[in-house]
Structure 1
Amino acid sequence: ITALLTNIPLSATSGVGKTILGVEVASRFGLKYINVGSLAAEGYYELDNQMREGGVIVNYHGCDFFPERWFYIVFVLRTDTSVLYKRLETRGYT
């Protein structure tokens, strides 16, 4: 019997913790981690084959343009605005 792995999208504004959480979950459970923003910056847009295999943690600010067939559930992360403000300020956001 082959278990079907689900894909897990992590959606949130910058600074909430998508990357830290995504890398940690992928590492602990042997899943693949993809930062979609980084892939787009590198000019790589083809994700369908990887998503079809399953077991992918997807990090992106939103998930509304991904095909619904890729995900069963969406995780939207959030944090206190005072914490977020400090994180973004540290990153140079104004």
Structure 2
Amino acid sequence: MERTRPNILLTGTPGTGKTSTSEELAEKLGFKHLNVSEIVKSHNCHEGRDEEFDTYILDDDKLIDTMEPMVESGGCVVDFHTCDVFPERWFDLVLVLRANTDVLFDRLTERGYSDKKRNENMESEIMQVVVEEARESYAEEIVHEVQSNTVEDMDSNVERMVSWVAAWQANNA
């Protein structure tokens, strides 16, 4: 079945603004917002918890099986801190949100992350781990890296994606 609306993945290191941006974008477009962290919890798509990092141990297969019917008809904005678990066919646009390390440090500290968890995420951002995962997992032309340091950045990113969706729909009508 051909989709009449695209699926968009927003990914990035924790603290880069994925959920806030995704919620605003989904609202503006009338799309479904799929917060993968919430799906993992509510559908038990995990194999327990990693207490050291205060996170769930993802069950990739169960997550994919759970999400497949949610995304197959299109019109989804998916947000998750990693991207290499999802099939390439699901997404028409992959946006990797980036934040300056001083901004990211403050956001993760405000969330109450332990020093170890905060440091691992800071290192991930510095080493561009999520950007590289996205580039290795999806076609080059659908992966875009954008800054997400301020509310103005978020608003600009949302407006660019709204324009992109309009163009996508015009080209795929």
Normalization by structure 1: what TM-score?
0.92
Once the 2 structures are TM-superposed, how far is the Cα of residue 73 of structure 1 from its aligned partner?
2.4
2:79 is aligned to: 59
For residues 70 and 38 of structure 2, what CA distance do their matches in structure 1 show?
Answer: 16
Q: Would you say 1:6 and 2:26 are equivalent positions?
A: no
Q: Which has the higher contact order (CA 8 A, sep 6+)?
A: 1
Partner Cα distance (2:14, 2:3) in 1: 33
The equivalent residue for 1:72 is 92
TM-score, L = length of structure 2: 0.51
Which string of whole-angstrom CA distances, capped at 9 and with x for unpartnered residues, describes residues 45-90 of structure 1? 3111111110100010111110111012211001111000001011
Between the aligned partners of 1:18 and 1:38, the Cα distance in structure 2 is: 13
- The count of corresponding residues between Structure 1 and Structure 2 is 93
Looking at structure 1, the residues matched to 21 and 93 of structure 2 have their Cα atoms a distance apart, in angstroms, of: 16
Aligned to 1:29: 29
List, as ranges, runs of 4+ consecutive aligned residues in structure 1 with deviation greater than 2 Å. Answer: none
**Structure 2 unaligned spans of 5+:** 46-62, 116-173
